[in-house]
Structure 1
Amino acid sequence: MQRFNLLDEAWIPVITEGEGTRDVSLKELFAGAHTITGLAGDTKTQDFALFRLLLAVLHTVFSRYDARGKVYESIELDAQGMQREEVAKEDDDYGKDLKKTWMTLWEQGCFPAKVNDYLETWRDRFYLYDDTYPFFQVRAADMAADKINKTKASEISGKNIDRRISESRNKIALFSPKYEAHNNKEILSDKEIARWLITYQGYTGLADKVIFGTDKYKASKGWLFDIGGIRLVGDNLFESLLLNCALLHPEEAYYGKVQRPCWEYAGSDVIAHRFRTNRIYNLAELYTNWSRAIYIDPERDFSGGFSFDIVKLPEIDHADPFLELMSLWRYQASGELKDRFTPRKHRQNEAIWRSFGLLTLSYDEVEKNRKYRQRKPGIMQWLNTIREHTDRTLAVEAISMQDDGNATSWVPVDEIYDALHIRDAVLTDVEEAGWVPRINDVVNETKQVIGWTYKNFIAQIHEIRNSSSKQFVQQNVEELYFLVDQPFRDWIASIQPNDKKDARVLAWQATLKGIVLRQAEKIIREAGPRDYIGIEKEEKTVNIATAYNQFVFFVKRQLDPKKGGESIDTNAK
């Protein structure tokens, strides 16, 4: 039984100017993306998962057709419109055509009808409930008892699928957005099921136990669970999608690859392919990658509560997966993956601007036989390619899922989200004397002042008071970061490409110095007798006054050019 087709049903929440929030179908979204401000899903991680699904559609369509809907001369399509073979790396014309397509789309300001024409071609693959080609799912036969290590697949209930609740039989959600009575937490509408199904494939965890076959393999937690998601946001959804749609991948290794979105293949084929290889070479497949084989009974009545059955799939290789454009990277200096890069998740309670260098700079250096390597997200490399066409203020969004810290379950517990607004011409000015190196220096200096100079001042007070609090120092440091956060965001958002760099840097240093000194003065005003009596250390009296004087000296030394402006050699975080 086929029902609830995602091409027609209104299931994607969006924000539109003048109309507020409403639900649209896939076809409505692509037809009116230029009139939509952005996605408005249940969570930011859900928006990120849905956004990548939309990108998979665009990468598939525009890897085969140009902006006018004509097939590229470099490729041949079969009767279903699927690309037959990869494009040879020597075929430069294909790359030129892809870039021309992107530029034409950007100039047009909306998506052509070809996107929805493509979706219509694959209409039978977009039914949420179907016996043959259920969307993002498999058939019951694909996870039959003879194919798995248990008598039946793991059953996941609605309140565990809904990541606003994430409640299992063993853990009760204290602040659930849904009430408990009448099994309400388990009830999901069709459109909610569609959204959470896609999200679940990206953010899963490892609490379930059923695998295919009897031989153990490293199961996926959900690819999105393991990355520090990054996306660029423009003035409307069309711009946001196109800004992140790198038709010409920055890495030559992925040039001309056939786009393989999951809906173009049967569920059994998706499973088989994942067991054949743990590498992915095209963005449409990556953006629609499954962590689980999922079965939803299309005949079942879910009005009293929803659940689906799942079986683990192998994880994607995490070593140097540079196909991924939308993640921060971590260089592994030791361990099993030594000298390789792996995705780096965002850190809880740490603003994205504190990772500005990871976001914008790449380098590969060797000093005293030690390697220092850093790699910026591929989407930033792509932005460098298109920067001459954009010319606007962007938001750089950071999205991650926090886990429970239990290596045996990796239960998703909270999402991490942040956004930084900045001119694209500033963000891509990576020359040695450009804005990016200067801003990165400012960020490092700011982190040094807070994470070393101020932290050392607070640590001295902690010692003087003989405090038993293990959180005292870090809490004070984070409080100062909080006070600095909005002024820094305002400063970086206000930078124009032609501003005088020295003047803007000096302005920030003055702002930072004022905030830091005021916070220290507040502590001095609240000091008690014990703080001034102090302690004896190395035959000297150390009290809050001596600590403050030392602190002020170092702050001025770092931030006041007239005092020398030298930096202290530290590794501030």
Structure 2
Amino acid sequence: MSKMKFNLVEDPWIKVLDKKTTEIKKLTLIEVFTNTSRYSRLSGEMSSQDLAVMRFLLAILTTVYLRFDMDGNAYPWLDKKENFFVEPNKEFEKLRGNKWKKDILLTWKKLYDQGQFSDVVVQYLKENKELFDIFGSNPFYQVTKEEYNKLVEDKKRLTDKKQPGSVSLKQINRRISESGNSQAIFSPRTESTKNELSLDELVRWLIMYQNYAGTTDKSKIKDKEKVSVSAGWLYKINPVYLDGNDLFETLMLNLVLLGNDKDFYLPKPMWEWKNVEEYVDSLRTRICPKNIPEIYTNLSRLIYIDWNDSKHLKIYSAGLPMFNALNAFIEPMATWKIDKKSGGYLPIRRGLNTLGKEMWQNFGLYVKINQNDSDHKPGIVKWANELKRNGFLERDEILSMKMVDLIDDGNASSQMPAAEIVDDLTLNLDVIFDDSDKFYWPERIEQVIQDTQAIGNDIYYLGKDIGNLRKVANPQEYADKLRGNFYLRINIPFKKWLTSLSIEDDRDEKIIVWRTKLEKIIEEYEGNILSNISKKDIIGIKDGDGNIINIFTEFNKFKNKVYKHLKKEAL
């Protein structure tokens, strides 16, 4: 073990897609931050893994640029210390929002205009490379055996006779997520290779696992309060981020340097804590972090890796407490819902029952749909508005919001990954942040979405009626299938319509364009259904009043509903 080495700063592990060659390359941290604009995006094993790695990269950038300007000078209210750490000086107590925000925003603007990150990021990494060493005395995202035994419950300590709390590589690999109790049926690996990972793979999965751990762990740390084994933070928030034209632009758009608070908080990623015990003590308080790097690098598991046999690694995991998520607005990527008990906000978490729902159908979660809308929107969207208001983004720039969500199996005792959703919502920046009253675009868009979804419900009830007419075994299942096919047909056309909108548009004319397109799609859809009718469909059945119900009476009823939602005269 002593000869093994792997450092995230100097050894390649980050998978990216090269813009020119379209090849996937593996890079070191230094290479990523030196040549970021050469790459289209991160390109690891899963989109949710890429998101976890991106948040790790953002934690580094946020830490550096909340301390230093583009030229590497500490801000006036901070004094530079060893290893590019800082501490507040006498100016810190005099800080007022506009002053510090102006200086920090200027750093962001200079970086964006320059098109690359400045040397101070690489300098920070070189000075602190021991904090990113997989095999160091403070191993990255891990603990030593001594630390593990000191922090876990006494009965879960590792001894020569008992070794509880083990986790296999095939469980940390979230494409397999196979525990010792249940076999993954559709695994991308054969049984003989499920527990094999290269060191660069292990690093990527380790970062992801800390963000997307389930609840199968039997070991947990000791605490005065009862510690519930919690899922990883990213597993809980239905995350959304801003997608740029290349990796540099994506990182810059998501480089949130202003939080929701007027006060300035020093950044503190988990690797900068004095020691593991101090970090765990902070988690025991259940208090939400006040700085973004800390929440981006929040650990959900205490992990010890026994490297004595590199071919058969032994990994031990213990659950850590999760902070209170109520009004945790420091998290920029969460979507929010009102908590009925407290009246505050909690992150939204999607379930398997939402797999067929497109991002645009939840338009109001991301965009303020009217001037009186008081619901809390994602911090990342507010950040984009801040950049627009300061003139850092072009008025007619297209903004793409991307959602990557790993959905669990719905079993509270396991929460194993069951599905991954990737979706996007792309609109003109001025449309999203329309400042007009009478012609406010988001309100009109939301109405169009509601009308379109109402037609989706009309199709569902048409399906149930046809199912009952045909006496199918499960009319509701048949109806769900019809509605699902309808959304598949309209998804791309509706997204294209959204992207085509501009602030100068005549709202009514553009809405008519969509209604016309939608009507044509519905007619084609009706034709497909009617092409498969039988003699029994035409003859029909009698209802309770003795009236004949057949395929044509049901379609007439359906068309009247659709015309109402298309704002046309009924038949």
Structure 1 position 257 matched with structure 2 position 265: yes
- Pair 430,295 (structure 1): closer, same or farther in 2 beyond 3 Å: farther
Counterparts of 2:81 and 2:410 in 1: how far apart (Å)? 47
Q: Answer whether contact 2:369 2:442 (CA < 8 A) is retained.
A: no
Amino acid paired to 1:15: L
Partner of 1:172: 183
Q: Answer whether contact 1:331 1:373 (CA < 8 A) is retained.
A: no
Map 1:105-116; keep pairs closer than 5 Å: 105-116=111-122
Q: CA deviation at 1:145?
A: 6.2
TM norm structure 1: 0.90
Q: CA deviation at 1:36?
A: 1.2
Kindly provide the CA deviation profile for residues 453-492 of structure 1, in whole angstroms up to 9, marking residues without a partner as x.
2222222222222332141111111111111111112222
Q: Answer whether contact 2:286 2:324 (CA < 8 A) is retained.
A: no
Q: For 1:379, what is the secondary structure of its paired residue?
A: helix
Q: CA deviation at 1:428?
A: 2.6
Partner of 1:190: 199
Map 1:34-433; keep pairs closer than 5 Å: 34-85=37-88, 90-130=96-136, 132-144=137-149, 147-148=152-153, 149-152=155-158, 153-181=164-192, 184-213=193-222, 216-249=226-259, 251-252=260-261, 255-265=263-273, 266-297=275-306, 299-303=307-311, 305-333=312-340, 337-346=341-350, 347-361=354-368, 374-387=375-388, 388-391=391-394, 392-429=397-434, 431-432=436-437, 433=439
Amino acid paired to 1:495: L
Q: CA deviation at 1:93?
A: 1.2
Map 1:7-18; keep pairs closer than 5 Å: 7-18=9-20
Q: Answer whether contact 1:243 1:383 (CA < 8 A) is retained.
A: yes
Counterparts of 1:233 and 1:406 in 2: how far apart (Å)? 32
- Pair 534,450 (structure 1): closer, same or farther in 2 beyond 3 Å: same
Counterparts of 2:359 and 2:151 in 1: how far apart (Å)? 48
Q: Answer whether contact 1:125 1:133 (CA < 8 A) is retained.
A: yes
Kindly provide the CA deviation profile for residues 154-204 of structure 1, in whole angstroms up to 9, marking residues without a partner as x.
1111111111111122222222222223xx110110000100000000000
Amino acid paired to 1:295: Y
TM norm structure 2: 0.91
Counterparts of 2:452 and 2:435 in 1: how far apart (Å)? 20
Partner of 2:494: 488
With 393-402 and 101-110 compared, the bigger mean Cα shift is at: 393-402
Q: CA deviation at 1:564?
A: 8.6
Kindly provide the CA deviation profile for residues 405-449 of structure 1, in whole angstroms up to 9, marking residues without a partner as x.
111221222222112333333333264423322222221211111
Partner of 2:557: 550
Partner of 2:442: 436
Q: Answer whether contact 1:226 1:343 (CA < 8 A) is retained.
A: yes
Counterparts of 1:364 and 1:422 in 2: how far apart (Å)? 18
Aligned length: 547
Counterparts of 1:241 and 1:431 in 2: how far apart (Å)? 30
Q: Answer whether contact 1:87 1:256 (CA < 8 A) is retained.
A: no
- Pair 545,362 (structure 1): closer, same or farther in 2 beyond 3 Å: closer
Kindly provide the CA deviation profile for residues 223-258 of structure 1, in whole angstroms up to 9, marking residues without a partner as x.
000111101111111110110111112x125x3111
Counterparts of 1:45 and 1:553 in 2: how far apart (Å)? 43
Q: Answer whether contact 2:360 2:425 (CA < 8 A) is retained.
A: yes
Counterparts of 1:88 and 1:222 in 2: how far apart (Å)? 38
Partner of 1:569: none
Structure 1 position 514 matched with structure 2 position 490: no
RMSD: 2.2
Counterparts of 1:308 and 1:463 in 2: how far apart (Å)? 55
**Which consecutive residues of structure 1, in runs of 5 or more, have no partner in the other structure?**
366-371, 566-573
With 435-444 and 27-36 compared, the bigger mean Cα shift is at: 435-444
Q: For 2:299, what is the secondary structure of its paired residue?
A: coil
Structure 1 position 505 matched with structure 2 position 511: yes
Q: Answer whether contact 2:228 2:319 (CA < 8 A) is retained.
A: no
**Which consecutive residues of structure 2, in runs of 5 or more, have no partner in the other structure?**
159-163
Q: Answer whether contact 2:454 2:565 (CA < 8 A) is retained.
A: no
Partner of 1:467: 472
Q: For 1:252, what is the secondary structure of its paired residue?
A: coil
Counterparts of 2:151 and 2:320 in 1: how far apart (Å)? 16
Partner of 1:568: none
Partner of 1:368: none
With 284-293 and 399-408 compared, the bigger mean Cα shift is at: 399-408
Q: CA deviation at 1:8?
A: 0.8
- Pair 208,496 (structure 1): closer, same or farther in 2 beyond 3 Å: same
Amino acid paired to 1:383: A
Q: CA deviation at 1:554?
A: 2.1
Counterparts of 1:483 and 1:351 in 2: how far apart (Å)? 12
Aligned-pair identity in percent equals 29
Q: Answer whether contact 1:534 1:544 (CA < 8 A) is retained.
A: no
Q: Answer whether contact 1:61 1:115 (CA < 8 A) is retained.
A: yes
Counterparts of 1:208 and 1:48 in 2: how far apart (Å)? 23
Q: Answer whether contact 2:560 2:570 (CA < 8 A) is retained.
A: no
Q: Answer whether contact 1:396 1:420 (CA < 8 A) is retained.
A: yes
Counterparts of 1:534 and 1:307 in 2: how far apart (Å)? 67
Q: Answer whether contact 2:210 2:301 (CA < 8 A) is retained.
A: yes
Counterparts of 2:112 and 2:349 in 1: how far apart (Å)? 31
Q: Answer whether contact 1:60 1:261 (CA < 8 A) is retained.
A: yes
Q: Answer whether contact 1:328 1:359 (CA < 8 A) is retained.
A: yes
Amino acid paired to 2:347: P
With 140-149 and 35-44 compared, the bigger mean Cα shift is at: 140-149
Counterparts of 1:146 and 1:434 in 2: how far apart (Å)? 55
- Pair 14,430 (structure 1): closer, same or farther in 2 beyond 3 Å: farther
Counterparts of 2:20 and 2:241 in 1: how far apart (Å)? 25
Counterparts of 1:147 and 1:447 in 2: how far apart (Å)? 50
- Pair 507,146 (structure 1): closer, same or farther in 2 beyond 3 Å: closer
Counterparts of 1:5 and 1:408 in 2: how far apart (Å)? 35
Q: Answer whether contact 1:165 1:176 (CA < 8 A) is retained.
A: yes
Structure 1 position 32 matched with structure 2 position 40: no
With 191-200 and 466-475 compared, the bigger mean Cα shift is at: 466-475
Q: CA deviation at 1:40?
A: 0.1
